[in-house]
């Protein structure tokens, strides 16, 4: 607690912490009241974790046998139990080492021992104080306890390191996907003398020309939509691109599977890639929803790029400007 605080400031702190009877206290008394509150809070923080019924067992070699000791999850050690098994009584050590305990509490900025209370009260101490106590009992035993603690902390650090490495790998994958999409975006911005669509893993929706009145659309996946469209146009030269979504190649099959299931009521029986009795707006909305559901990185082809491509290709066939509205 800061001793240079004014009496009025100390009283305000007492009020905020809910301490009673501070109004007529002097500065030294106010400091003592506040410090006692901090120490009590520190001990209360460990009440549940130092419950003997929930403590963990350790087996430490001592002479020709293994001594079982108990510790909490955050390494508060049952010093009462250990002392008894080593032929010692912790209450005498505690009585003779009050200055040591006070020093440890000051350095740790918290209480370093806790008594469970009750008929069979047990004392749990912070691992740092436990090593000091055990060293005074038996240096070899203290060394074994400390070695177990160090090994435990090494294992925790290894687990954390493994988690960090896994997250780093995931970030590298995301960075790779982002770089892929960014490069595609940069290439799409370049002017082409002969317009073509961006190459790469893509989910496409195209207008499937029919002589009848029924409107149909084709959908599918490709790693080069230009080649796919060349194949379509051998049969239907007026095929037009409606929508393109570029995603990582590993996401193509899962997305296609979702779409086939979702659009099953609209599929033309003779061709699993053709849907009818629906609108392009609904198909695009469904595709975006599936991509968002799977959490796949995505880049959508701009409408300007699609329109430019459709016009350039269809002009070669019809020798006229064809405007397309998806």
* % of the chain beyond a pLDDT of 90: 31
Alpha-carbon distance 207 to 216, whole Å?
7
**Quick check: is 184 in a domain?**
no
Q: What is the pTM of this model?
A: 0.39
Quick one: which of 73, 66, 68, 84 has its CA closest to 123? 84
- Does some domain include residue 326? no
Question: In this structure, are 111 and 135 located in the same domain?
Answer: yes
Lookup result for tokens 């940069």: 186
pLDDT band at residue 312, thresholds of 50, 70 and 90? confident
Same domain for 223 and 303?
yes
Number of structural domains the chain divides into: 3
**Same domain for 35 and 79?**
no
Q: Are residues 106 and 123 in the same domain?
A: yes
Report d(CA 12, CA 6) in Å as an integer: 10
How high is the pLDDT of residue 92? Answer: 93
Q: How far apart are CA 278 and CA 29, in angstroms?
A: 81
Q: Which domain holds residue 23?
A: 7-45
Asked if the structure places residue 98 within a domain, the reply is: yes
DSSP states of 276-310: ESS-HHHHHHHHHHHHHHHT---EEPPHHHHHHHH
User: How many Å separate Cα 28 from the centre of its chain?
Assistant: 47
Q: What's the confidence (pLDDT) of residue 272?
A: 67
**Is the pLDDT confidence value at 95 over 60?**
yes
The answer to whether residue 86 sits within a structural domain is: yes
Whether the Cβ atoms of residue 249 and residue 201 lie closer than 8 Å to each other = yes
Q: Is residue 215 part of a domain?
A: yes
Residues 6+ apart with CB under 8 A from 185: 299
- Are the C-beta atoms of residues 215 and 169 closer than 8 Å to each other? no
Structure tokens at 20: 């009673």
Q: What is the mean pLDDT of residues 228-245?
A: 86
Query: Buried b vs exposed e over 245-281: b needs ≥16 C-beta within 10 Å?
Result: bbbbeebbeebbebbeeebeebbbeeeeebbeeeeee
Over range 100-123, report the average pLDDT.
Answer: 88
> What per-residue confidence (pLDDT) applies to 46?
41
Q: Out of 1-15, 31-45, 72-86, 195-209, pick the least confident.
A: 31-45
Judge if 149 and 124 occupy the same domain.
yes
């Amino acid at each position: 607690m800061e001793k240079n605080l004014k009496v009025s400031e100390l009283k305000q702190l007492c009020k905020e912490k809910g301490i009673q009877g501070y109004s007529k206290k002097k500065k030294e008394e106010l400091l003592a009241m506040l410090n006692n509150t901090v120490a009590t809070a520190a001990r209360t923080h460990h009440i549940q974790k130092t419950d003997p019924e929930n403590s963990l067992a350790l087996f430490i070699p001592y002479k020709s046998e293994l001594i079982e000791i108990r510790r909490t999850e955050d390494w508060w050690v049952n010093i009462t139990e250990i002392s008894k098994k080593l032929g010692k009584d912790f209450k005498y050590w505690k009585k003779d080492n009050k200055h040591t305990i006070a020093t440890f509490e000051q350095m740790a900025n918290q209480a370093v021992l806790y008594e469970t209370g009750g008929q069979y009260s047990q004392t749990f101490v912070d691992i740092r104080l436990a090593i000091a106590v055990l060293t005074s009992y038996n240096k070899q035993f203290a060394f074994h306890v400390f070695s177990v603690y160090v090994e435990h902390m090494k294992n925790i650090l290894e687990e954390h390191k493994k988690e960090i490495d896994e997250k780093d790998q995931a970030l590298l994958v995301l960075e790779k996907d982002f770089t892929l999409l960014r490069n595609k975006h940069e290439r799409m911005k370049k002017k082409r003398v002969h317009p073509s669509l961006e190459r790469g893993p893509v989910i496409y929706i195209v207008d499937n020309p029919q002589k009848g009145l029924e409107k149909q659309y084709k959908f599918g996946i490709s790693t080069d939509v230009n080649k796919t469209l060349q194949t379509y146009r051998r049969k239907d030269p007026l095929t037009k691109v409606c929508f393109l979504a570029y995603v990582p190649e590993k996401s193509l099959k899962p997305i296609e599977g979702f779409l086939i299931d979702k659009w099953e009521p609209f599929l033309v029986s003779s061709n699993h890639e053709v849907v009818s009795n629906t609108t392009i707006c609904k198909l695009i909305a469904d595709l975006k929803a599936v991509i968002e559901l799977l959490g796949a990185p995505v880049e959508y082809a701009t409408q300007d790029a699609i329109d430019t491509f459709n016009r350039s290709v269809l002009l070669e066939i019809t020798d006229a400007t064809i405007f397309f509205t998806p």
